[in-house]
Amino acid sequence: MTAQSFLPFSQWPLQTPVLRALFQELETGRVPHAIMFVGSKAVTRMFAEFFAKTLLCTGQGAPCNACPSCHQMDALNHPDFISVTGEDGGSVKAAQIETAQSRLKLRGHGQGRTVYMIEGMDKLTPVAANRLLKTLEEPPSSTIALLTAENDGRVLSTIRSRAFLYRLGTGEVAWDDPLPDSLTGSSNEQNLSFAGLLKPVIQWNQHVFQKRQGVLSLAAELVKETESYELADVFHVLIVWLRDLMHYRLGEYESLVSQEFIQEIKAQAETVEISQVLRVIEIVMETKRRALSHVGARLNVEQMCIRIREVI
């Protein structure tokens, strides 16, 4: 049987580093069972439908726009695509989730893959979110969930933790937010502050990716080595460094923020997969949000390290 080919990434409707990583996962057949696209409603709906069409396409150069599956998607009547959205712009209700779950129990057609899309995860009623959680915890065979949200901070944390999150925004990478005021500016003092924090962050990542140090010692080391900085700043610089690892793995060397540490970037990037780096970035981002909510610092860092060790 001839392996399926896909539309080149250069022809995808959105092209960002995180989506390039998703494309590479698709090519190797390692598509996550649950994906959450975060961004504006119009952008996430458009891309989720495009990706669903790609997953269900039975032709070459998927989506080929010529096979029966693509025609069914265009006509909005594909038997293996389930779309759930709030009525009249409202939130998705528990009854709608239950209806979708009943359909998921039926065996898929065609290639045997079933795709369901649920829009507005940040607007689900609590009962609906908990109904969906069971399906995400025990996904039916050959089933892929495509979830969308405008604000993932409002999505039930247990759902977020079970989905691979891709930020779409309006075509930009949503985590490329500016550095905090305490780490930016034109003064030498501020520039030295960023550089000074980056060095212990790089060293700490060596223990994560290369030395595979234990959870408690990882947490203790990060807290100790960065104790003179704001914890939110530490997480931000950690995200910057992880982004550089991802850009290096993607061959996007011009996007590196930490060019002067290219040897360290190369050494660490070669020890992890892009999908792992993406997942760790999401974990650190959630940890940063908890830090801003005044969650206990040491406990917050320990929880982060535990989740990172589950990935690395």
Q: Nearest CA to 243 among 207, 277, 220?
A: 277
User: Each residue of 199-212: pLDDT tens digit?
Assistant: 899 999 998 887 77
Using an 8 Å Cβ cutoff, are 163 and 188 in contact?
no
Residue 281 DSSP class: H
Mean pLDDT of 34-56: 91
Q: What is the pLDDT of residue 294?
A: 63
CATH classification number, 181-311, choose in 1.20.272.10, 3.60.40.10, 1.20.120.160, 3.40.50.300 = 1.20.272.10
The CB-side HSE value for 19 (13 A sphere, CA atoms) comes to 24
Residue 231 has pLDDT above 60, yes or no: yes
In percent, the amount of the chain with pLDDT more than 70 equals 87
Quickly state the pLDDT bin for 295 (edges 50, 70, 90): low
Tokens of 24: 């590479």
Q: Nearest CA to 35 among 134, 177, 136?
A: 136
Q: Where are the domains of the chain?
A: 9-169, 181-311
Quickly state the pLDDT bin for 189 (edges 50, 70, 90): very low
Using an 8 Å Cβ cutoff, are 179 and 195 in contact?
no
Q: What are the backbone dihedrals phi and psi of residue 111, each rounded to the nearest 5 degrees, phi first?
A: -80, -5
For residues 277 and 194, which has the higher predicted lDDT (pLDDT)?
277
Residue 154 has pLDDT above 50, yes or no: yes
Residue 227 has pLDDT above 90, yes or no: no
Residue 296 has pLDDT above 90, yes or no: no
Mean pLDDT of 41-70: 92
Q: What is the pLDDT of residue 192?
A: 45
Q: What is the pLDDT of residue 256?
A: 80
Domain 9-169, architecture per CATH:
3-Layer(aba) Sandwich (3.40)
Mean pLDDT of 22-46: 88
Mean pLDDT of 153-181: 68
Distance CA 92, CA 123 (A): 7
Q: What is the pLDDT of residue 180?
A: 53
Q: Nearest CA to 274 among 36, 55, 19?
A: 19
Using an 8 Å Cβ cutoff, are 33 and 293 in contact?
no
Q: What is the pLDDT of residue 153?
A: 83
Q: What is the pLDDT of residue 190?
A: 41
Q: What is the pLDDT of residue 63?
A: 93
Q: What is the pLDDT of residue 83?
A: 93
Quickly state the pLDDT bin for 186 (edges 50, 70, 90): very low
Mean pLDDT of 155-168: 87
Using an 8 Å Cβ cutoff, are 118 and 100 in contact?
yes
Largest CA distance in the chain: 63
Residue 64 has pLDDT above 90, yes or no: yes
Report, in angstroms and rounded to the nearest whole number, the Rg of the chain calculated over CA atoms.
21
Other beta carbons within 10 Å of 289: 14
Mean pLDDT of the chain, nearest integer: 83
Residue 179 has pLDDT above 50, yes or no: no
Residue 102 has pLDDT above 70, yes or no: yes
Using an 8 Å Cβ cutoff, are 191 and 183 in contact?
no
Q: Please name the helix (run of DSSP H) or strand (run of DSSP E) that holds residue 82, with its range, or none.
A: strand 81-84
Distance CA 3, CA 24 (A): 15
Mean pLDDT of 273-279: 82
Mean pLDDT of 75-81: 90
**Number of residues that make up the chain:** 312
Other beta carbons within 10 Å of 143: 18
